[in-house]
């Protein structure tokens, strides 16, 4: 990674956008696309210019989480109901084991939506709804609001 950082520093890459860094690495230095994405994000993070939520592959992730009183599987059912309003359908997969209590949607946009419920501690569980593989950073603020509202609705549901 240090060699790539030296190359990017020599190219004054801190002035370039993420896409421009990737293009530079692929077109001039013949790096593979997936490797260029990872190098670009790490370089931007190391220089304090990566965007919030940006992942090593260049996509974005955003999540909302809250500790909610209730049984783990009941909370998963509530999270599924609320996340389905975002995902637009039933989840592609659901797991209800205490160590893996999760539902996953693979959205038409290529995004991944996931509702997770952690194991209970003193009658409360961490409930998280996350959307990842987001390609456009300008979508993140609106998605964050939608996820936060979904978590609020899960918390407001009456216990089963």
What pLDDT, in 10s, does the model give residues 13-66?
999 988 899 999 999 999 988 788 889 988 988 898 877 788 878 899 999 999
Fold of 60-156: Alpha-D-Glucose-1,6-Bisphosphate; Chain A, domain 4 (3.30.530)
Q: CA-CA distance, 104 to 114, in Å (whole number)?
A: 5
- Residue 26 has which token pair? 């692929």
Q: CA-CA distance, 88 to 63, in Å (whole number)?
A: 18
The 8-class DSSP code of residue 121 comes to: B
Q: CA-CA distance, 136 to 139, in Å (whole number)?
A: 6
Helix (H) / strand (E) containing 65:
strand 60-69
Where do the structural domains in the chain lie, given as residue ranges?
2-46, 60-156
Report the percentage of the chain scoring pLDDT > 90: 72
pLDDT at 38: 84
pLDDT in tens, 84-139: 999 888 999 999 999 999 999 999 999 999 999 999 889 999 999 999 999 988 89
Model confidence at 68: pLDDT above 90? yes
Q: Any alpha helices (H) in 11-128, and if so which ranges?
A: 18-23, 33-46, 72-87
- Residue 19 has which token pair? 């896409």
């Amino acid at each position: 990674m240090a060699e790539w950082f030296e190359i990017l520093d020599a190219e004054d890459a801190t002035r370039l956008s993420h896409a421009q860094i990737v293009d530079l690495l692929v077109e001039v230095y013949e790096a593979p696309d997936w490797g260029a994405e990872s190098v670009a994000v790490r370089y931007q993070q190391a220089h304090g210019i990566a965007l919030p939520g940006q992942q090593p592959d260049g996509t974005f992730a955003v999540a909302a989480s809250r500790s909610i009183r209730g049984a783990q599987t009941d909370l998963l059912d509530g999270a599924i109901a609320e996340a389905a309003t975002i995902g637009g359908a039933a989840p592609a997969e659901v797991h209800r084991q205490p160590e893996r209590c999760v539902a996953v949607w693979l959205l038409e946009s290529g995004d991944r939506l996931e509702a997770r419920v952690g194991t209970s501690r003193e009658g409360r569980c961490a409930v998280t709804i996350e959307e990842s593989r987001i390609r456009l950073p300008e979508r993140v603020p609106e998605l964050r609001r939608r996820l936060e509202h979904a978590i609020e609705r899960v918390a407001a549901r009456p216990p089963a």
